[in-house]
Amino acid sequence: MGFTREQLLAFRERTVPDLMPERPRLVFVGINPGLWTAATGAHFARPGNRFYPALVAAGILPRLPRITDDGMSPDDRRMLLDAGIGISNLVHRATARADELSREELREGARRLEADAGTWDAAVIAVVGITAYRQGFDRPRATSGRQPEALAGGALWVVPNPSGLNAHDTVTSLAAAYAEPARAAGLLPAAGPRRSAAAAAAAE
């Protein structure tokens, strides 16, 4: 992908439609679209973002989707949809950094998410980012993992942010965190993910 900084900045405030199967089993909810996502129309599109490598390393996806300037290919979108995986955001407007969002925006996003979740009827919803979850849902002491409350009838999890700015996690630790809600949604065997040689290589 090739965008200049000026080209990317032109995508501020853009929105990106949710990627949502007709019957989602696991919905990942990001904080908000970054500029690369807004430019390509593909979620978690920024080069170096570890979301998709972590899904492959966990055994949730069989291969890495390819994202170009034109977005994600129809075949790769279908791979996610057929797996029952949806992707949404707490806040829909694109920014260069998530810390540009106000607490009120995150709270409004959490209220909207609850309404949206009622239409998805997903088994599991995983919010990607503990700080955004704490602020948006007014849970200042929340910890990562499964939350005690449900969201519109679905089990609610909080998992780490895959952004390269999150230096505390690796692809391996992200894969372990993402595997937990995937198991709860029935996307992985209860005994744990089966990792192929390709998945193991993606974790390196």
At 21-34, the pLDDT tens digits run 999 999 999 999 99
Give the confidence band of 188 by pLDDT, cuts at 50, 70, 90: very high
**Digit-coded pLDDT (tens) for 128-176:** 999 999 999 999 999 999 999 999 999 999 999 998 777 789 999 999 9
Q: Work out the average pLDDT over 117-126.
A: 96
pLDDT at residue 25, rounded to an integer: 98
Instruction: Tell me the pLDDT of the chain averaged across its residues.
Output: 92
pLDDT tier at 191, thresholds 50, 70, 90: low
- What are the tens digits of pLDDT across the range 35-80? 999 999 999 999 999 999 999 999 999 999 999 999 999 999 999 9
Structure tokens at 101: 């969002």
- Cα end-to-end distance, the chain, whole Å: 23
Stated pTM of the model: 0.90
Which pLDDT does position 1 carry in this prediction?
64
Six token digits for residue 89: 């955001």
For 72-105, letters b (16+ CB in 10 Å) and e give beeebeebbbebbbbbbbbbbbbbeebeebeeeb
pLDDT over 90 at 199, yes or no? no
Provide the pLDDT for residue 60: 97
Q: Say what the pLDDT of residue 163 is.
A: 86
Give the CATH H-level superfamily of domain 5-61+68-203. Answer: Uracil-DNA glycosylase-like domain (3.40.470.10)
- In the prediction, which pLDDT does 133 show? 97
Give the integer Cα–Cα distance in Å for 114 and 92: 14
pLDDT, residue 196, reads 46
Mean pLDDT value of segment 78-103: 96
Dihedral (CA of 163, 167, 172, 178) sign? negative
Q: pLDDT band at residue 197, thresholds of 50, 70 and 90?
A: very low
For position 168, what pLDDT does the model report? 84
Cα→Cα distances 200→55, 179, 196, Å: 11, 14, 6
Under a CB-based contact definition with an 8 Å cutoff, are residues 58 and 188 in contact?
Answer: yes
pLDDT of 201 > 50? The answer is no
